[in-house]
């Protein structure tokens, strides 16, 4: 089975877990999210560092089942401008499916699949990743305000034209304010990819850091599934 097929299987499994029959009688709520972010992409290839940055816009739809399960579908995209003469501008687009299970009120296990493409006038590179991780929430004194810390490991990363990375992980931290119908969050994330190479000096390294500001609207559904 190829990596891509395994990823799709994992995605289906994640959605299946999130909407398990055991929660059939639970109340569901629908979430809509708009997102804007500043993204910095740095890649070192053959000893050359190519930084680029830009603004991302995106949106997401989520389903929260009861107080335990949630599933999100997210899409975002933007234009990255090269910050060095050696680099070139590129467009980035990403879709992501993410499932979550709240094992404690303050801990959520997460699993998901994301597909990201970097496009230049000459080429397009597709990244497909499987993510496994957890998110912790720390309530703060002011009503509805929480601190967020998350870490994800990417056991499966498929990059077109490039070998699989040795190290692939992402971390993040931020703040979220939750109201009754609206929540606002600002989260810093860092993705790190270290690719194997026979010559360490020529090793391919990539890093994506971002600050994302999100606004989410909750629509509580009265029906049950």
Among 22, 144, 147, 155, binds another protein (CB under 8 A): 147
Query: Closest approach of Cβ 159 to another protein, in Å?
Result: 16
Decide if residue 134 touches another protein (CB under 8 A): no
Decide if residue 192 touches another protein (CB under 8 A): yes
Among 6, 31, 38, 102, binds another protein (CB under 8 A): 38
Q: What is the per-residue DSSP string for 44-95?
A: EETTEEEEEEEEEEEEEEEEEETTTEEEEEEEEEEEEEESSTT---EEEEEE
DSSP state of 162: B
Structure tokens at 117: 């493409």
Decide if residue 174 touches another protein (CB under 8 A): yes
Proportion of the chain in helix, strand, coil states, percent, rounded to 5: 10, 70, 20
Nearer to another protein among residue 47 and residue 223 (C-beta): 47
Decide if residue 175 touches another protein (CB under 8 A): yes
Decide if residue 91 touches another protein (CB under 8 A): no
Decide if residue 211 touches another protein (CB under 8 A): yes
Contact 34, 75 (CB under 8 A): no
User: With contacts defined by CB under 8 A, how many residues of the chain interact with another protein?
Assistant: 30
Decide if residue 154 touches another protein (CB under 8 A): no
Among 12, 20, 24, 49, binds another protein (CB under 8 A): 49
Contact 112, 134 (CB under 8 A): no
Query: Closest approach of Cβ 136 to another protein, in Å?
Result: 11
Distance of CA 93 to the CA centre of its chain: 12
Q: Cα–Cα distance between 96 and 35 in angstroms, integer? A: 14
Q: Cα–Cα distance between 163 and 194 in angstroms, integer? A: 10
Query: Closest approach of Cβ 16 to another protein, in Å?
Result: 31
Q: Cα–Cα distance between 75 and 97 in angstroms, integer? A: 9
List 84's β-bridge partners, or say none.
none
Enumerate binding residues for another protein (CB under 8 A): 38, 40, 42, 44, 49, 51, 138, 140-142, 145, 147, 149, 169, 171-175, 186-188, 190, 192, 194, 205, 207, 209-211
């Amino acid at each position: 089975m190829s990596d891509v097929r395994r990823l799709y299987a994992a995605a289906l499994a994640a959605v299946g877990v999130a909407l398990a029959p055991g929660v059939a009688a639970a109340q569901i709520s629908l979430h809509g999210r708009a997102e804007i972010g500043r993204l910095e992409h740095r890649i070192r290839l053959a000893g050359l560092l190519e930084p680029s940055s830009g603004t991302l816009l995106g949106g997401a739809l989520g389903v929260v089942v009861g107080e335990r399960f949630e599933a999100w579908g997210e899409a975002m995209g933007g234009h990255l401008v090269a910050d060095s003469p050696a680099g070139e501008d590129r467009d980035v687009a990403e879709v992501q499916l993410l499932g979550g299970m709240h094992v404690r009120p303050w801990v959520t296990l997460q699993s998901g699949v994301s597909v990201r493409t970097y496009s230049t006038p000459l080429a397009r590179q597709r990244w497909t990743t499987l993510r496994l991780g957890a998110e912790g929430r720390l309530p703060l004194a002011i009503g509805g305000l929480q601190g967020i810390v998350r870490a994800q490991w990417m056991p499966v990363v498929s990059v077109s034209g490039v070998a699989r990375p040795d190290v692939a992980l992402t971390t993040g931290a931020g703040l979220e304010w939750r109201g009754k119908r609206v929540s606002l969050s600002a989260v810093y994330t860092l993705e790190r990819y270290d690719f194997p190479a026979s010559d360490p000096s020529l090793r391919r390294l990539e890093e994506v850091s971002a600050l994302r500001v999100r606004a989410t609207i909750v629509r509580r559904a009265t029906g049950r599934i």
